[in-house]
Amino acid sequence: MSNVLEISQTGRVLRVAMNRPDKRNALNAELCRELVRVMEHAANDPHVGAILVAGNGKAFSAGMDLSEVGPERSQELTRVHEQLFTLGARMVKPLVAAVQGAALGGGTGLVANCHVVIADEGATFGLTEIRLGLWPFLVFRAVSAALGERRSVSLALTGWIFPASEAREMGLVHEVSGDVQNRAMEVAQEIAGWSPTAIRSGLTFVEQVRGMNWQEAGQVAGRVRNEIFQSADFREGIQAFREKRPPKWPSLG
């Protein structure tokens, strides 16, 4: 049992809460490893339809744990951070973030790795590494994918800390809520109720076509769509639509 994570399951939603509230959920090596381990295990668990990522205490995550930084641990930290900050590109289960308080540096990077982000009205974000004489190297790909390269560069250069309302305008946050934990769970449960086959195929497709030109991506899209057309879930979805009832996805077993 992990001390740095609080894990619970409601229906098909696995809630994974960072549990270092006294450290503002700073991302030390142990926390990073545990997040990766739990999420990769959940990706292969048929009883999990979505993963809700949260932080206990007043902050979502203040970013990298500076108490661990040093030349003797740089390779280890780079390895675990690389695994964590590429989760969004590798996961075939939806990641929903519930963000309250500060999500700075690596916290913003973790948010950018999530597919749907619900933020509290008082949440704050920022690529603050420049204030330490650093650049957000490992989180930059996910942030750039979410916000675009030019905006991401400007945030990295300035170290600006911005509120949830601006994060929503930028596209980093999808919804701002006054009841962030319950709203995020509601969204995660809704997503977890959709076809596992469609979700897995869709998230795999998004990763496969990243960097492809339009023609290549179109060929992959056509192939994957034809596969979905042959799936039991799609046949059930069509039948349920015609019969005006909720679908019962065969891939749920």
29 CA to centre of own chain: 19
Instruction: Let me know if 129 is a catalytic residue.
Output: yes
d(CA 41, CA 45): 7
Burial class (CB in 10 A: 0-12, 13-18, 19+), 186: middle
> Which member of 129, 149, 186, 236 is catalytic?
129
Structure tokens at 170: 């930028």
Question: 112, 169 in Cβ contact below 8 A?
Answer: no
Q: Where are the beta strands (DSSP E) in the chain?
A: 5-10, 13-18, 50-55, 95-99, 102-104, 116-120, 124-126, 162-163, 175-177
Helix %, strand %, coil % for the chain, to 5? 55, 15, 30
Helices and strands (H, E) in the chain, number of each type: 11, 9
Nearest to 167 by CA among 217, 220, 124, 116: 124
C-alpha dihedral (69, 63, 79, 3), degrees to nearest 10:
90
Q: Which residues are catalytic?
A: 129
